[in-house]
């Protein structure tokens, strides 16, 4: 990680009158990685992203985005940041193409380059056929994709995406995931907030959990084995539970009774479990993580807070 790339926020705080929207957030997002920002409704994700995007002044704390401080070097920070808001307002009389060329002009990109870039981005988000339709006829998901294209117009080093997957169909979600992975591979810093945790599981490298305006946990998703629950099903459930009882493993049956949940330290342990079960003559039909890492971590955190 280069010392001044990516996003670093330390002790960031912001309140609106009596509401402490962001009370104390520490966050590091490294270049070349996709970082997920996770938290319940009203936990301050949007407010935090606004501060990172240079739109809102933090009451306290320090922020560095792509090596620039959004408070003191706002202009430089803005030039390196692409921000996609959660509510996508659009100039409804403009066509999709004009929206992108206008934003490009606002980023001081010359007209010829802006036209080429708009065409490219429309293709990227599969809106080429609708390019010359007024933006207000676009569907919610199409608008969302246009919003993503808009955040990419000036090829920013840091991408701040506020719930980019909401309203997207499955195909577009896969596209989004591939796109973000590719951007990360190209050395960009990507920070995504979302409530679709299974989605984030597959695209995020790191996760930052915030709740009540505070950072409550920081996890790494991709690397290393994380202890978590796995779901195990067999053709004959009774044979399975008998074998588990015999080998003395802790397990619990699922409420709907289709399988059992086993807590395992990692993937190697899962493979070992499968081998020994099959060796013991149990007809295992599936063994897979129960829910995503993030979902489990999130629910565990919620549990702690109760």
Partner 1 sequence: MSVDVQTSPPAPSAAPAGRGTWSLSWHGLRTVTVLELRQRVRSTRWKTALVVWFLVVGLITLLTTGAFAILSGDGMADEPFGGIVYSIVVGFVLFLGLLVAPTLSSGAINGDRNAGTLATLQVTLLTPAEIVLGKLAAAWIAALAFLVASIPFLAWALAGGGVSWLALLTTVLMLAVVLGVVCAIGLGFSALVGKTSGSAVLTYLTIGGLTAVLPIVFGLLVPVTTSTEEVRVWDVEPGYTWEETTAPECEWQTHEADVWHSERTWWLLAPNPFVVVADAQPLGGDPETLADDGNMLALLQYGVRYARTGDNGEQDWCSYMVGSGTDSPVEPVVVTDQLVWPWGLGFDLLLGAGGVVVAVNRLRVPTTHLPQGTRVA
Ligand X SMILES: Nc1ncnc2c1ncn2[C@@H]1O[C@H](COP(=O)(O)OP(=O)(O)OP(=O)(O)O)[C@@H](O)[C@H]1O
User: Which residues of this protein are in contact with partner 1, per CB under 8 A?
Assistant: 16-17, 46, 50-51, 53-57, 70-71, 73-76, 78-79, 81, 83, 85-94, 98, 102-110, 113-114, 116-117, 120, 123-124, 134, 150, 152-155, 175, 178-179, 182-183, 186
43, 172, 194, 215: which one contacts ligand X (CB under 6 A)?
43
Cβ 73 vs Cβ 18: under 8 Å: no
- For residue 158, the tally of other CB atoms under 10 A from its CB is 24
Q: Which does 280 bind (CB under 5 to 8 A by kind): ligand X, partner 1, Mg ion, none?
A: none
| Among positions 41, 72, 93, 255, the unique one binding ligand X when judged by CB under 6 A | 41
User: Which residues have a Cβ under 8 Å from the Cβ of 186 and sit 6 or more positions away?
Assistant: none
Taking residue 265's Cβ as centre, other Cβ atoms within 10 Å add up to 11
Among 35, 43, 46, 194, binds Mg ion (CB under 5 A): 46
CB 155 to partner 1: min, Å: 4
Query: Whose Cβ is closer to Mg ion: residue 21's or residue 179's?
Result: 21
Contact 234, 285 (CB under 8 A): yes
**What is d(CA 118, CA 122) in angstroms, rounded to the nearest whole number?**
6
Sequence-distant (6+) residues with CB within 8 A of 205 are 33, 34, 35, 184, 220, 221, 222, 223
Q: Which two tokens stand for residue 194?
A: 């979302």
Pair 125, 149: CB distance under 8 Å: yes
Residue partners of 185: CB distance under 8 A and separation at least 6:
32
- The entry of ligand X, partner 1, Mg ion, none that residue 57 binds, CB within 5 to 8 Å by partner kind: partner 1
Among 13, 33, 45, 78, interactor with ligand X by CB under 6 A? 45
What six digits make up the tokens of 258? 């289709």
Residue among 35, 47, 64, 194 that touches ligand X (CB under 6 A): 47
| Residue 104 touches which of Mg ion, ligand X, partner 1, none (Cβ within 5-8 Å per kind) | partner 1
120 counts as binding Mg ion under rule CB under 5 A: no
Taking the C-alpha atoms of residue 210 and residue 208, their distance in angstroms, rounded to an integer, is 6
When binding is defined by CB under 6 A, the residue of 5, 39, 85, 291 that contacts ligand X is 39
Q: Enumerate residues 48-107 that contact ligand X by CB under 6 A.
A: 86
The entry of ligand X, partner 1, Mg ion, none near residue 69 (CB within 5 to 8 angstroms by kind) is: none
Q: Shortest CA distance to 67 belongs to which of 55, 56, 76? A: 76
Pick one of 2, 16, 169, 286: the residue that binds ligand X (CB under 6 A). Answer: 16
Residue 107 near residue 90, CB atoms below 8 Å: no
Number of residues in contact with ligand X under rule CB under 6 A? 12
- 261 in Cβ contact with 164 (< 8 Å): no
Sites of contact with Mg ion (CB under 5 A): 46, 86
Sites of contact with ligand X (CB under 6 A): 16, 19, 21, 39, 41-47, 86
């Amino acid at each position: 990680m280069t010392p001044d790339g990516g996003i670093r926020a330390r002790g960031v705080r912001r309140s609106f009158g009596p509401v402490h929207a962001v009370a104390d957030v520490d966050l590091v997002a490294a270049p070349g990685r996709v970082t997920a920002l996770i938290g319940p409704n009203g936990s301050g994700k949007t407010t935090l992203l606004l501060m990172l995007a240079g739109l809102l002044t933090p009451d306290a704390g320090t922020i560095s985005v792509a090596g620039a401080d959004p408070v003191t070097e706002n202009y430089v920070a803005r030039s390196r940041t692409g921000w996609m808001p959660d509510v996508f307002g659009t100039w409804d009389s403009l066509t999709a193409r004009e929206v992108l060329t206008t934003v490009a002009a606002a980023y001081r990109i010359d007209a010829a380059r802006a036209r080429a870039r708009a065409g490219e981005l429309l293709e990227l988000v599969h809106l080429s056929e609708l390019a010359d339709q007024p933006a207000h006829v676009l569907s919610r998901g199409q608008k969302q994709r246009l919003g993503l294209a808009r955040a990419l117009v000036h090829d920013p080093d840091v991408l701040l995406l506020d719930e980019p997957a909401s309203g997207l169909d499955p195909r577009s979600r896969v596209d989004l995931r591939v796109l973000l992975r590719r951007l990360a591979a190209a050395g960009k810093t990507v920070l995504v907030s979302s409530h679709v945790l299974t989605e984030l599981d597959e695209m995020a490298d790191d996760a930052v959990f915030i709740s009540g305006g505070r950072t409550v946990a920081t996890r790494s998703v991709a690397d290393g084995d994380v202890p978590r629950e796995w779901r195990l099903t067999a053709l004959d459930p009774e044979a399975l539970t008998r074998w588990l009882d015999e080998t003395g493993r802790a397990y619990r049956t699922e409420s709907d009774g289709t399988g059992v949940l086993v807590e395992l330290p990692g993937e190697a342990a899962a493979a070992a479990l499968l081998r020994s079960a099959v060796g013991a003559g149990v007809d295992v039909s599936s063994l897979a993580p129960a829910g995503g890492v993030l979902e489990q971590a999130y629910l565990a955190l919620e549990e702690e807070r109760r």
